[in-house]
Chains A and B, each alone.
Chain A
């Protein structure tokens, strides 16, 4: 069922909030002149250096030549591609017009970290199109998993183009350089090429069939439990929520469901996305996606239900394991860093504890002296032991304390993103238009070390290229632009990930085909 809410999620709005944009503005005006110069330099370079794309094209031709050893094939294909592209452009333009009509006049261009020219330079020089294509194809060369894959662009004027699709990574690249979207998203693989869906007689045949299983964790969902920041702002303290979420979800996906190829991506501002790329995960239907999502979802209930965690005892192995992971971190990251109950004598904590006698004793104690969260947490046990309430059920208290830990630390997923096969999600390595930061992968094994505030900004990356060229230009050696920048470790990690995926895919394919031979 496609309902309005999906539309919203498709658009996946990142709230541009006050403080961050203000911040962005002041920063930018500071560096504007410098940037301006750089951009101009870059433009001239781009002109003279059309070499980059050409080199890439040549490489591909060579590869294809090797594979097919047939020049005619290339020509034909090229013609076809051109024609397709022309049609696609027309379609896109038409859609653009439609879309623009419903939007109001675009707001006056705000200076941000990621203005048009910077973006264009980033996409033309740094974005790893080849790797992205291999990743979505699960193979070195584009497969139908890529051809029939939906892409959606958000243009600079906020128009939203859906159902785009491409034959090769170069096609995708060309279109991105032509339209210069502020961001783009990746959707499912359809039965047919999404661009041709309207030409089909039978629309029922046009269906999504495969997409990575995705998860979206966003810090705004933690607002009821985080005290350091709110809305779109983040700091190191609250990023811990995301780090913990990655640990808990990742281990469940691996141990319980047996998935192996899980890619975590920083969403560019205040969250993270997981892409589970195993073949089995890609082929799940909505019902099964829902099953996994609910399996992982523990924190439930709206603003008006006091207790958001209600889990059965004995604890399900998944919850017991999650608790083991989270418990040792509770004191440092919640009680000390967030201090959620320090200010009030009847904090939210009181509503989560059983036994009225205990709660009133605690309230009395907290009213008489200010206690911070660490003290309050230990108070529970000392007061309980002092025997204020005869009816106190120690087991119920232990369970309640476990529930508190889960409520404050357990991952909060945006379930709707995961449930629907046809949901779109922002592509890795896209630049977040609000922060200018690149959506880079997070190495799962070293999730603690990941620092969202140190993720390279697009402007810094471009500067790094220039600096590299100034100092270290060596002769004869072809160094790709991303290798000259801080993007390097991220692209390398992504490459390792894609290689692992392709290897497994090849193996699986051979096995599947081997099986069918036996029949």
Chain B
């Protein structure tokens, strides 16, 4: 298929067996045709020689790009916003010029083409080097895939429509155009679809190829086929890119142990993947942010609610009111409490007392296991981390009767304002600000605004925050708690530990 047998290609290849030699030949043919497009599906590994310096430098440059993308994705940036913010980074580390309009006849023309080729080569090679470094673990593969897919979508979006069309044509994706008769038959259904225009062309593909469009009900689906308008073709290409890369990564991973690698490469590759993942392992034991080493007991929780962000406050109040929380609410709250330093023994006491109308027997049968599981004491014994705002915002939106999630996102505006007011926020300016933030979908900012208001007195007494602003945006409920607690107890704010950790999560 995509010649995944030789993903090591970027190095000096002594083709020892014929199979590799063949691959090398055919790939070389392709490579020698240079890079006709800015976009690349990375189907064929590179085969030419590069110096060790280039090898390392290119990979580092690409990692910078991917790292930036990952950060932006964490902040919920998508689509055009992502593209705008990525532009300077891409221009600096991985520029890709358009095809020069000059012919190769003139000196300038030749130079322009040559620069183009170099840029695209760097893009091509660096992709494969990083792919090699990141194929090692499931976790790394997943992150690599996510970032590369986002990178591709940014580039695809910014490509000229002509170049796009040409690129898609050459990919040769199997897409059956919908005939007139069929289009007429489903005229009503198709007419109401997203992206439909009077004379749009429609393509019929198996729905499995555009799961993201099906998920959002953006396409008409009939008997297993999705009807995709040409305006949504990008999504099809995107899906194909992700799918192929995912498959290739899997193959690369399987081939890894068999690589007879150059002793100079291994350390570089290891180092590269380490740079991206180190913090993850480092902070693994560091989830508890207990305060001054004090232990927190179940009885203290009610007194600490004043330091909780609205999401946790809401969970706590719901728990106190109804004597119960549904599963995801329990999970979100348990992990948060674990994060502020509640031990598993205390957590069991806390929940046992909180659940009204539940017999001991039932509690032990149905909830005890769950709580211990959250602490990594049951089942696969993973030490789960407290959920970050990112996770709370995107994973498992609350269903009917559920209380978890982010109030700024999941409450109706009236209920949200009432909830914020119950935290003592009564200044109109602040409330309007919250409204505005929420409407602009800047849920962090709204939460931050509430924090700044409720802790305005304390903030003013701390150097660097006298203007009443917190500076950095809070992106983790435990960070909110920690900052609030420290402010009230007159401790230096400093960089939050939760923050550092959170960045690397996922």
Q: B-contacting residues of A (Cβ < 8 Å)?
A: 2-5, 7-8, 11, 13, 16, 102-104, 107, 158, 221, 223-224, 255-258, 280, 284, 287-288, 290-292, 294-295, 299-308, 312, 314-320, 351, 412, 415-416
Contact = CB atoms under 8 A, between A and B. Distances in A.
B407 A304 contact: yes
Given A308-B400, A317-B192, A412-B399, A4 B370 contact: yes
Closest 4 CB pairs of A and B: A302-B398, A258-B224, A314-B192, A291-B211
A299 B397 CA distance: 11
Interface of B: 189, 191-194, 207-208, 211-212, 214-217, 220-225, 314, 318, 327-328, 331, 361-362, 364-366, 369-370, 372-374, 378-380, 382, 384, 396-405, 407, 410-412, 414-416, 419
B410 A107 contact: no
Contacts of B403: 302-304
B400 A303 contact: yes
25 contacts: A2-B380, A3-B384, A4-B379, A5-B327, A102-B369, A221-B399, A256-B223, A258-B223, A291-B212, A294-B215, A294-B216, A295-B215, A295-B217, A299-B399, A299-B400, A301-B397, A302-B411, A303-B318, A305-B415, A312-B194, A316-B193, A317-B192, A317-B220, A318-B217, A415-B399
B215 A291 contact: yes
A271 to B, nearest CB: 15
A280 B224 contact: yes
B208 A305 contact: no
Contacts of A308: 400
A318 B318 CA distance: 36
Given A221-B401, A294-B216, A304-B412, A255 B223 contact: yes
Given A255-B222, A304-B407, A305-B415, A295 B214 contact: yes
B398 A301 contact: yes
A417 B262 CA distance: 47
A4 B374 contact: yes
Contact of B373 (A4, A255, A256, A280): A4
Contacts of A4: 331, 370, 373-374, 379, 384
A107 B208 CA distance: 48
B182 to A, nearest CB: 14
Contacts of A3: 331, 384
Nearest to A160: B369
A352 B133 CA distance: 53
A302 B403 CA distance: 6
Contact of A306 (B191, B212, B384, B415): B415
A256 B379 CA distance: 38
A371 B208 CA distance: 49
A150 to B, nearest CB: 15
Contacts, number: 142
A306 B400 contact: no
Contacts of A314: 191-192
Nearest to A222: B400
B117 to A, nearest CB: 37
A296 to B, nearest CB: 9
Contacts of B318: 303
Contacts of B225: 258
Nearest to B361: A107
Contact of B410 (A5, A16, A302, A317): A302
Contacts of B215: 290-291, 294-295
A301 B364 contact: no
Nearest to B216: A294
B230 to A, nearest CB: 19
Contacts of A291: 207, 211-212, 214-215
A288 B397 CA distance: 18
Nearest to B371: A4
A299 B400 CA distance: 8
B220 A104 contact: no
B215 to A, nearest CB: 4
Contacts of A299: 399-400
Given A292-B214, A316-B192, A301 B400 contact: yes
A245 B414 CA distance: 31
Contact of A257 (B221, B364, B380): B221
Nearest to B221: A256
B31 to A, nearest CB: 30
Given A5-B328, A258-B223, A303 B402 contact: yes
Given A158-B365, A306-B414, A256 B222 contact: yes
Contacts of A302: 397-405, 410-411
Contacts of A320: 192
B361 A104 contact: yes
A409 to B, nearest CB: 13
Contacts of B397: 300-302
Contacts of B193: 316
Contacts of A13: 366
A292 B215 CA distance: 6
Given A5-B328, A291-B214, A295-B215, A412 B369 contact: no
Nearest to B213: A291
A224 B400 contact: yes
A3 B378 CA distance: 11
B467 to A, nearest CB: 33
Contacts of A316: 192-193, 217, 220
A16 B363 CA distance: 12
Nearest to B357: A18
Given A258-B223, A302-B399, A287 B365 contact: no
A502 B194 CA distance: 39
A223 B401 contact: yes
Contacts of A280: 224
A427 B217 CA distance: 31
B427 to A, nearest CB: 23
Contacts of A11: 366, 369
